[in-house]
């Protein structure tokens, strides 16, 4: 399994990509607008690269409910970041958006990947990705309309079966619209339209999603299902996030989206070495 973004090839049979989050929103659930300003967002992205991030993921709209953000507002938040980031770095850049118009402008400005967390609410987003050579698309099971919270969600016969089938269908839809199969990534959508039991089950049954043959992205970092699992507020979920990331990689995930980049990179690189994919940085113990 191989994914190439801006000349960087990820050999996902033996490698895990860490995707670092940059929020250009004033109301994000985790950083509460700390990286909203353009210069701060760019500095934060640079720091994530220094910490070992393989991909930067920038978003201009809070995923959950909040103040209205028009397409024009989202463009003003995202495109200047993409342009300025691309002047500074050739690291692969993802844009978190469900709008085809934003995806088009972001890719034209230098983004490489569209991370659509809506379940292709605007199917034209796949047409946009297909029109840009080398661009890739994340399709996700959203479990409801964009920017809504779940209420007594129920899945029959079970959440994993439904999510796997939905991701298979979304990937096929993207392919039918011209996105090459090797440019498609699937995301089970932890917390999106799901309760804590659903997200925990999806994590332990990730191999059923891996079987589809597309790289699996997991966005677990500091999410509510981890907070509810341990009874912890959002600013105390690091250890749970790392544990979930490690478990997900062991079960087949190959892209991990994270807020705490340095800690996530160290955890994931350790797993790669345990699996025999990455040699130790040093191995003098017992040899001299």
Domain boundaries, the chain: 2-274
Identify the CA nearest to 203 among candidates 214, 184, 188: 188
**Residue 11, class by beta-carbon neighbours within 10 Å (0-12 exposed, 13-18 middle, 19+ buried)?**
exposed
Catalytic-role residue among 24, 183, 254, 257: 257
In the chain, what is the straight-line distance between the N-terminal and C-terminal CA atoms, in Å? Answer: 38
Domain 2-274 belongs in CATH node 3.30.450.90: no
Please give the average per-residue pLDDT across 198-208, as a whole number: 98
pLDDT at 147 exceeding the cut of 70: no
Catalytic-role residue among 223, 254, 266, 285: 223
- What are the helix (H) ranges across the chain? 38-50, 71-88, 100-109, 124-131, 159-176, 196-204, 206-210, 224-230, 238-250, 261-274
Residue with tokens 């463009």: 75
CB 268 within 8 A of CB 249: yes
257 is catalytic: yes
Question: HSE (CB half, 13 Å, CA atoms) of 13?
Answer: 3
88 is catalytic: no
Q: What is the DSSP letter of 24?
A: -
The answer to whether the pTM exceeds 0.85 is yes
Rounded Cα–Cα distance for residues 227 and 138 (Å): 25
Rounded Cα–Cα distance for residues 257 and 255 (Å): 7
Give per-residue pLDDT as tens, 74-118: 999 999 999 999 999 999 999 999 999 999 999 999 999 999 999
Please give the average per-residue pLDDT across 186-203, as a whole number: 97
Give per-residue pLDDT as tens, 25-75: 988 777 778 899 999 999 999 999 999 999 999 999 988 777 889 999 999
pLDDT at 249 exceeding the cut of 80: yes
Rounded Cα–Cα distance for residues 189 and 98 (Å): 14
80 conformational bin, left if phi > 0, alpha if psi -120 to 50, beta if neither: alpha
């Amino acid at each position: 399994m191989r994914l190439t973004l801006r000349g960087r090839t990820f050999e996902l049979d033996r490698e895990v990509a860490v995707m670092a989050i940059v929020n250009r929103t004033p109301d994000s659930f985790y950083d509460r607008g700390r990286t909203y300003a353009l210069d701060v967002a760019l500095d934060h992205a640079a720091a994530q690269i220094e910490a070992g991030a393989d991909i930067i993921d920038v978003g201009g709209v809070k995923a959950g409910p909040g103040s209205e953000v028009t397409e024009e507002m989202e463009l003003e938040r995202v495109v200047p970041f993409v342009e300025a980031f691309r002047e500074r770095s050739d690291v692969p850049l993802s844009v978190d958006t469900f709008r085809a118009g934003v995806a088009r402008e972001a890719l034209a400005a230098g983004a490489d990947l569209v991370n659509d967390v809506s379940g292709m609410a605007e199917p034209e987003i796949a047409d946009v990705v297909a029109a840009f050579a080398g661009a890739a698309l994340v399709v996700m099971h959203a479990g409801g309309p964009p920017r809504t919270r779940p209420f007594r969600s129920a899945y029959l016969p079970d959440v994993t079966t439904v999510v796997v089938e939905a991701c298979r269908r979304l990937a096929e839809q993207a392919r039918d619209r011209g996105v090459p199969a090797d440019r498609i990534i699937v995301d089970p959508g932890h917390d999106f339209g799901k309760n804590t039991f659903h997200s925990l089950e999806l994590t332990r049954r990730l191999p059923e999603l891996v079987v589809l043959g597309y790289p699996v992205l997991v966005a677990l970092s500091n999410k509510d299902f981890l907070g509810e699992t341990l009874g912890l507020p959002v600013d105390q979920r690091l250890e749970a996030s790392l544990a979930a990331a490690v478990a997900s990689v062991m079960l087949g995930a190959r892209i991990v989206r994270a807020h705490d980049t340095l800690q996530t990179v160290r955890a994931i690189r350790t797993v790669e070495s345990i699996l025999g994919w990455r040699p130790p940085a040093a191995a003098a113990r017992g040899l001299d």
